[in-house]
Chain A
Amino acid sequence: MKSVVVIDDDIDVLDVIVFALQSDGFDVQSYSNGKLGLEGLLNTPRESLPGLIIVDYLMPEMDGLTFIKEISSNHKELLGGIPLALSSAMGTVNPDVDCKNELIHLHKPMDLDDLLNVVRKYCS
């Protein structure tokens, strides 16, 4: 089973997603913005990279779109193969970038089942 990375600046949203995924037996790493998330991922050994990254769209420091652009432009080799779930309260947001990663859209407020189904698909 692969781990899952969750990046969201809202502490309560982050907390409940982490609790929900851990309750289902997943190994979860969480970060409060894209910059910290990217640093965390770059410091992860290749064999321990997550099966899925859930990243919020609107965040301080580095938002979801910049995070995706950063991976697509500078870290394609290491992180380009990890599916990205972009969670947004602003509807479907398409990053205007040549993104190698598979993109999944999670619309806030999301259903727990939808969240778990996405994580199960990529991390089980």
Chain B
Amino acid sequence: MKIEEKFLSVQNIFQNEKLLRLATEASHVGVWEINQHNKQVHRNLFHDMAFGYKELQPDWDIDKYAEHIHPEDLPILLEKFKSAQVEKSVQNIEFRVIWSDKSIHWVKVSANVDGDQQVGTIIDITEKKRSEIALNEALFYRDEFLSIASHELKTPLTTLKLQSQLFKRLIARQDPSAYRPEKVDRLIDQTDRQVSRLSRLIDNMLDISRIRTGKLSFNFESINVSELVMAVAQKTNTNVIRSDEVFCICDKTRIEQVLMNLLNNAHSYGMGRPVSITLDKSNNHVSISVTDQGMGIEPQNIEKIFNRFKRAVPASEVSGIGLGLYISREIINAHKGRIEVKSIVGKGSTFTVHLPILTGV
């Protein structure tokens, strides 16, 4: 080979090396190569960054990996390296590494193992993994929600279906019990209750969809909050402790929906003990508090109960689909107000809605 050709060939190598370096720097890919003789690892800065270092470390031998690889992931990692050696193929391995500050991160290693030569890349995939975990969690709650929602929809349908078939049967065989006033009254009451229950469930599901698409609409007007509090208290057999006369600009139907939700919850979780409601007026706020004397809420569950599809107790304990408080908070937020909860386990809970009197909404 002539000297000019040799020069061009070396120049090509440098050119290719430069291109590779620029590409790995641009894509933040760590590269590594294990020297089989002295067990030292030749690598770039991004390799070390994947293990939590801000600068390239002076040296790195293969034992240093053991300091960083999550002990639970080490066996599978070694297994994959063995497969790569036997199959002489590229292995992609995702595993956890522990940084010096004890934080856990996910990396993806592509290893090309061929005889003595072991080379590969490493990239930090922590964000991707976090998104995957969050997505799986969201899918789990969605599936659980669908299962509970279908149960909640089928329960009133069971009553309605059995009632209609039963009365049809009784009438067909001219059974006098089908016409007895007390039986007919009970049938009408039960039907009304189950239809309201179905309607409420469907409204909640529609509201969730409206919130997600930003289409929850409001009709703001000046309303007598005291009258509203008295009305919902009467509907739910709730004691009114105090109800100051106050007017407020808000959506009457939506605030009624929030109060009914809080009162229904208080009665459901209130272990049959009395539930009370209080309306207080301060300078520029109204505060409506609903208090029960029920099971209370564990401190770690307080924030959870406002999340979509989540509830503090299993569905087997209290029925409902776990949407009410999420919707209520969205409604109160739209009124530039807030909902807070104070609870003592075994003693009961107080949910308070704070609304500004002069809203700028």
Contacts and interface: CB of A to CB of B under 8 A. Distances in A.
Interface of A: 9-10, 12-13, 15-17, 19-20, 23, 58-60, 63, 89-90, 108-113, 115
A108 B157 CA distance: 8
A20 B156 CA distance: 16
Contacts of A12: 156, 159, 190, 193-194
Given A12-B159, A23-B166, A58-B316, A108 B154 contact: yes
B166 A20 contact: yes
A15 B190 contact: yes
Contacts of B183: 19
B199 interface: no
Contact of B147 (A20, A59, A90, A108): A90
A14 to B, nearest CB: 9
Nearest to B160: A109
Contacts of A58: 151, 315-316, 319
B159 A60 contact: no
Nearest to B313: A60
17 contacts: A10-B158, A10-B159, A12-B193, A17-B162, A19-B166, A23-B170, A59-B316, A89-B150, A89-B151, A89-B155, A90-B151, A108-B157, A108-B158, A110-B158, A110-B161, A111-B165, A113-B165
Given A58-B315, A60-B317, A13 B158 contact: yes
Given A23-B175, A58-B316, A89-B154, A13 B166 contact: no
Contacts of A19: 166, 183
A96 to B, nearest CB: 16
Contact of B158 (A63, A89, A113): A89
Contacts of A15: 186, 190
A59 B190 CA distance: 20
Interface in B298-325: 315-319
A16 B316 contact: no
A3 B310 CA distance: 40
Contacts of B315: 58
B157 to A, nearest CB: 4
A110 to B, nearest CB: 7
Contacts of B42: none
A20 B167 CA distance: 9
A12 to B, nearest CB: 4
B169 A112 contact: yes
> Which of A12, A13, A60, A110 neighbours the largest number of chain B CB atoms within 10 Å of its CB?
A12
Interface string B126-160: 00000000000000000000010011001111111
Contacts of A13: 155, 158-159, 162
B12 interface: no
A67 B136 CA distance: 32
A16 B155 contact: no
Contacts of B156: 12
B36 interface: no
B155 A112 contact: no
Contacts of B155: 10, 13, 89, 108
B151 A16 contact: no
Given A60-B317, A60-B318, A90-B151, A16 B157 contact: no
Nearest to A14: B159
Contacts of B318: 60
A119 to B, nearest CB: 13
A63 B318 CA distance: 12
> Which of A10, A16, A17 neighbours the largest number of chain B CB atoms within 10 Å of its CB?
A16
B150 A16 contact: no
A109 B177 contact: no
A35 to B, nearest CB: 12
B222 interface: no
Contact of B154 (A16, A109, A111): A109
A23 B162 contact: no
Nearest to B153: A89
B265 to A, nearest CB: 15
B349 to A, nearest CB: 18
Contacts of B165: 111-113
B179 to A, nearest CB: 13
B184 to A, nearest CB: 12
B317 A16 contact: no
A17 to B, nearest CB: 7
